[in-house]
């Protein structure tokens, strides 16, 4: 399982709107690095949902529902989209200021490259952010540990 952060302006498409819609196409990305991150997403990967411009905070958890496909909103170029489904809001939003201040998050993309709209998160970063948001992922989303073969 991989972990990601996706950004949306809440007045354009908020996490509450994702909760209402149930499944939404994540499209309109026009940055090559963010597009490549979309293409690296796999079904079941978890995403932190960040409200940009207004709020500046991580507010929810979503899951990748479908892997990348051509972005139907692109008039030209080789752009991609994925489908996301909401899992749950964070119990407490995590502000950008908190992210920037946390020692374990200094290499996180939101700190190093804050303009990127889709970015990976390491498992450590993802779970630090969940802890800051006083939230646990639902049991059915937790990665399964592989057992060593018994001889």
**pLDDT(150) > 50:** no
The pLDDT of residue 101 is above 60: yes
Domains of the chain (ranges; CATH) run 3-139 (3.10.590.10)
Angle at CA of residue 70, ends 26 and 126, nearest 5°: 35
Compute the distance between CA of residue 102 and CA of residue 45 in angstroms, rounded to an integer: 24
The pTM of the whole model exceeds 0.85 = yes
What average pLDDT does the segment 24-43 reach?
A: 97
Distance between CA atoms of 67 and 86, rounded to whole angstroms?
Answer: 16
Of the given ranges (3-7, 45-49, 140-144), which has the lowest mean pLDDT? 140-144
For the cut 80, the answer to whether the pLDDT of residue 147 exceeds it is no
Q: What residues have CB less than 8 Å from 143, skipping those under 6 apart?
A: 1
pLDDT (mean) for 116-128: 97
Banded model confidence at residue 144, pLDDT cuts 50, 70, 90: very low
pLDDT in tens, 38-86: 999 999 999 999 999 999 999 999 999 999 999 999 999 999 999 999 9
The whole-number pLDDT of residue 143 equals 54
Q: What is the pLDDT of residue 73?
A: 97
On average, the pLDDT of the chain sits at 93
Q: Please answer whether residues 132 and 94 qualify as being in contact, where contact means their C-beta atoms are separated by less than 8 angstroms.
A: yes
Query: Is the separation of the CB atoms in 121 and 48 below 8 Å?
Result: yes
Who has greater pLDDT, 53 or 142? 53
Question: Distance between alpha carbon 8 and the CA centroid of its chain, in Å?
Answer: 10
Q: Are 52 and 8 in contact (CB under 8 A)?
A: yes
């Amino acid at each position: 399982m991989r972990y990601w952060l996706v950004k949306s302006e809440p007045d354009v498409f908020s996490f509450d709107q994702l909760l209402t819609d149930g499944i939404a196409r994540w499209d309109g990305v026009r940055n090559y690095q963010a597009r490549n991150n979309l293409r690296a997403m796999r079904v079941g990967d978890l995403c932190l949902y960040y409200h940009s411009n207004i709020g500046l905070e991580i507010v929810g958890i979503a899951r990748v529902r479908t892997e990348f496909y051509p972005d139907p909103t692109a008039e030209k170029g080789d752009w991609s989209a994925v489908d996301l489904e909401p899992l749950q809001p964070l119990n407490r939003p995590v502000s950008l200021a908190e992210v920037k201040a946390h020692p374990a998050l200094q290499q996180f993309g939101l700190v190093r490259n804050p303009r990127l709209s889709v970015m990976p998160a390491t498992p450590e970063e993802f779970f630090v952010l969940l802890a800051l948001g006083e939230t646990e992922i639902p049991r059915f989303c937790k990665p399964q540990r592989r057992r060593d073969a018994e001889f």
